[in-house]
Structure 1
Amino acid sequence: MEDPAFFCVFPGKQITILPYLCRMLTISQRGNAMPPSPIRKLVPFAEAAKKKGTKVYHLNIGQPDIETPPQILDAVRHADFKVLEYSHSAGNESYRRKLVDYYKKVGIEVDHNQIIITTGGSEAIIFGFMACLDPGDEVIIPEPFYANYNGFAVEAEVVVKPITSSIETGFALPAISEFEKMITPRTKAIVICNPNNPTGYLYSQEEMDTLKQIVIKHNLFLFSDEAYREFAYDGKQISAMQLEGAEQNVILMDTISKRYSACGGRIGAFVTKNKQVLDAAMKFAQARLSPPSFAQILGEAAVDLPENYFDATRAEYLRRRDVLVKRLNAMDGVFCPNPGGAFYAMAKLPIDDSDKFCQWLLESFNHNNATVMLAPATGFYGTKGLGLNEVRLAYVLNVDDLNGAMDCLEAALKVYPGRTK
């Protein structure tokens, strides 16, 4: 059946207009629902401040200043290709076999056929969501959580159900009874990041056992983002892959980005012992053809770094953490729990609105011709209204610059018009 025409009458003329000529080009509901990055949305204000000659201390994003190991960059420089071909959709077998050795060193037993190399950890998360979840399914995530989980959920058309952890407890895992309250017939998975971004919280063995109990009892997937595995300061990182009895429930999502200060490499890994899940994820891997070849060379060379490579890096982050937390807790009205891992801290500030405060720092404040860029915590919560008086800080600058940033923050809090106490 053809679309009915309608008529517009002009003086002396009658013009037929077909409906398709009047349709507007619109973006999808998914495109409208896709959230902007709470971490990057303040970039234009930072750029404007720099144009005015203001030094900006960047504590807003997890881009390490630690030098990328020259050995792994050399491996890329010296790569001898006649043709830059596609790799296997699961990634180069030589790299996957080397990852088996890497995982064995950290207490994880896997086979190379249980690993899919991904374009960054982000693609590993997307593969997990797309392979395991249907539109309308629910995933429980302890909040505050990595903001991009929201975006990945929108892409997969799944529903994030946040379960709130508190800054007063250092963001410890909520009680098992709180998880039980959240579970519905549509609940399909729990997502964790360990050590955590944005809080730096390091889950204990007891907490990991609690998660194992929940996912086995309710037949849920456990997606475990372990991007910061090597950076655990107050205890040992417990991988979800080490939870005996939950092997079929666990999907590990990994990346070289923070581990080797290689964020631009865009190489990650999707790891699971669940063959059905792996086979489904492999279809998505085939649809995007292959992970990047040069970056796989980078990743493979990284596995060959000496075992003591992380000692100096871990010690440097620990030193920075201690300086940051001490400075924050010495400020009037500020509270910052000690993060056990990663290189992030969450702080509670005496402010009315973290979004306004972080923008004000860049637009209207400077201290000795410098200011500091922070990430408003509102973007890390799924529950509306939470995080208004919290910010995330990434201690990815050297100690001198960290102290400079803290000088700026301390001075700013004394004059901020929206200070609450």
Structure 2
Amino acid sequence: MSKPVLSAHFESRTPSDVRLAQMKYAERKVKPEAVINVGIGNVSLPTNPAMMDRMFHLDAPGSPFNKGVVRYTATGGFDETKDAFINILKSQGFDTSKLQVLVTDGGSTAMELLIVGVCGPAGSSEKPLMMIDPAYTNYISFAERLGRKTVTVKRKMSVDGKFDLPELSTIEAVIKESKPAALLVIPYDNPTGQLYDMTTMKALAELCVKYNLWMVSDEAYRELFYVDNPELVSIWGITDKEVPGIEGRRIGIETASKVWNACGLRIGAIVTDSPEFANRCQAEYTANLCANAIGQYIFGALAHQSKEELNNWCRDLRNYYGDTIKRVSARFKELEPRLIISSPDASIYSVIDVRDVVKPGFDSIDFTLFCAGEGVVDMDGVSTTLLCAPMKGFYDIPAGEANPGSTQFRISYVESPEGMMKVPELFVELLRQYEANR
């Protein structure tokens, strides 16, 4: 008897690189005593106190859930939740008078809506999404799921750990050739930790205006930067005054996950100054009905926080991550000077490149599976392994071309500072074990 057939898309799917190690480790029959998982940006810090108070008191007077009823919200979200996103932007000095917000189930759903909303027809090569490689792997995965094309310009990681953007003339040449619908930037970059400056952002905005593109900025890590920065880098800091014609083509991706330490809340948003995009986006999202109501209510607490409260929270978080990232990066270089470590400038990630350490033929996915499936290190008498993310899936590389991610890994600063300081020794020792047997 014949069996039902999966779609070609399902047949081709493999786990996302950020979940690969975790899934392999779950299958491991004999597990070590401890595992440090830095493969996914699953923040382990407590969430904002105002949000926490609502989380612990869903039955409080004034709560929409105090009688145990959980109803749909409007498709666009609670007004209070939308106001929370606006309040955060206002507290950072941006003009929000023309902005509209659609609350989504996490930033991931916002990404998917973005691709549907600007790219060409499914299955065609028309109006692709233009990205800067390496790019957050979910954009690549969602584009494949939706049958939309992507096109990239490539960054290269130099030996000093810097990812340098291509020349503007190179980016412009790709725009002319591929005719994208939108340019995606991640100013506080995932996965590289690179921090864009406003001069670069404005130059990219000028290209968007010149070639009639949407400019999309994923601002999940907007408040997390660790260098002296005279101005907060954001798409909302670019107006018609700086780049005539940019207003009305700006789209931002927001999330509660990272700066607000609420990954599992699954609350995000699309923010835009295009009324037409906002209206059509909401119409598309009616099929989803709405984002989760309890998460919206919890995040909505930030609508009532003062500018000082919001900015103090962000400052403390910068201090926390900045110190840890710099210490961990230095420890990697102490243990293995030939490693290339990305510059610790922004977000909550580092990229580790082992290209000058390993033998030819090394594959980052194979090493990741080794660590998750059998690798172990004695750490002060405790058998321990490490889960990290191979970078191959962060590059949109045509078949047959060399993938820089074959020797690169992303680590997420989601463990305690004490736990993160164990990562360099674990990584280096596991790498030595792997190479000795390859």
Give the structure, 1 or 2, with the largest relative contact order (CA under 8 Å, sep 6 or more). Answer: 2
Which residue of the partner structure matches residue 324 of structure 2?
320
Change in CA separation of 1:191 and 1:77 when aligned onto 2, cut-off 3 Å: same
Whether the 8 Å CA contact 1:194–1:201 is kept in 2: the answer is yes
Deviation, structure 1 residue 312: 2.3
* 2:235 aligned with 1:240: yes
Which residue of the partner structure matches residue 337 of structure 1?
342
Which residue of the partner structure matches residue 198 of structure 1?
191
Which residue of the partner structure matches residue 68 of structure 1?
47
Which residue of the partner structure matches residue 90 of structure 1?
76
SS in 2 for 1:388: helix
SS in 2 for 1:122: helix
Q: Where does structure 2 lack aligned partners over 5 or more consecutive residues?
A: 241-245
Amino acid at match of 2:43: P
Change in CA separation of 1:47 and 1:275 when aligned onto 2, cut-off 3 Å: same
Which residue of the partner structure matches residue 412 of structure 2?
394
- Measured in 1, the distance between the counterparts of 2:254 and 2:368 equals 30
CA deviation vs aligned residue, 1:210-229 (integer Å, no higher than 9, x gap): 21111111111111110011
Range with greater deviation from structure 2 (373-382 or 184-193): 184-193
- Measured in 2, the distance between the counterparts of 1:48 and 1:128 equals 35
* 2:403 aligned with 1:371: no
SS in 1 for 2:15: coil
Deviation, structure 1 residue 203: 0.6
Whether the 8 Å CA contact 1:57–1:401 is kept in 2: the answer is yes
Deviation, structure 1 residue 262: 0.4
Whether the 8 Å CA contact 1:72–1:298 is kept in 2: the answer is yes
Deviation, structure 1 residue 342: 0.7
Deviating runs (4+, > 6 A) in structure 1? none
Instruction: Output the aligned Cα RMSD.
Output: 2.2
Deviation, structure 1 residue 237: 3.7
Which residue of the partner structure matches residue 77 of structure 1?
56
Size of the aligned set, in residue pairs, is: 399
Q: Where does structure 1 lack aligned partners over 5 or more consecutive residues?
A: 1-21
Which residue of the partner structure matches residue 153 of structure 2?
163
Deviation, structure 1 residue 76: 3.2
Deviation, structure 1 residue 321: 0.5
Change in CA separation of 1:23 and 1:178 when aligned onto 2, cut-off 3 Å: farther
Deviation, structure 1 residue 190: 1.1
- Measured in 2, the distance between the counterparts of 1:261 and 1:220 equals 33
Range with greater deviation from structure 2 (35-44 or 189-198): 35-44
Which residue of the partner structure matches residue 9 of structure 1?
none
Which residue of the partner structure matches residue 16 of structure 2?
37
Whether the 8 Å CA contact 1:33–1:154 is kept in 2: the answer is no
Match of 1:216 among 209, 216, 222: 209
Please give the residue correspondences for 1:22-421 in structure 2 after superposition, counting only pairs within 5 Å: 25-34=4-13, 36-48=15-27, 51-79=30-58, 80=63, 81=65, 82=67, 83-111=69-97, 114-135=100-121, 136=124, 137-168=127-158, 170-183=162-175, 184=177, 186-234=179-227, 235=229, 236-245=231-240, 246-305=246-305, 306-307=309-310, 308-330=312-334, 331-349=336-354, 350-351=357-358, 352-368=362-378, 369-383=383-397, 384=401, 385-417=403-435
- Measured in 1, the distance between the counterparts of 2:163 and 2:431 equals 24
SS in 1 for 2:76: coil
Range with greater deviation from structure 2 (44-53 or 255-264): 44-53
Larger Rg, first or second structure (1 or 2): 1
Q: Percent identity?
A: 25
- Measured in 1, the distance between the counterparts of 2:53 and 2:350 equals 33
- Measured in 2, the distance between the counterparts of 1:84 and 1:106 equals 33
**TM-score, normalization by structure 1:** 0.88
Deviation, structure 1 residue 50: 8.0
Whether the 8 Å CA contact 1:50–1:56 is kept in 2: the answer is no
Deviation, structure 1 residue 91: 0.9
Change in CA separation of 1:32 and 1:415 when aligned onto 2, cut-off 3 Å: closer
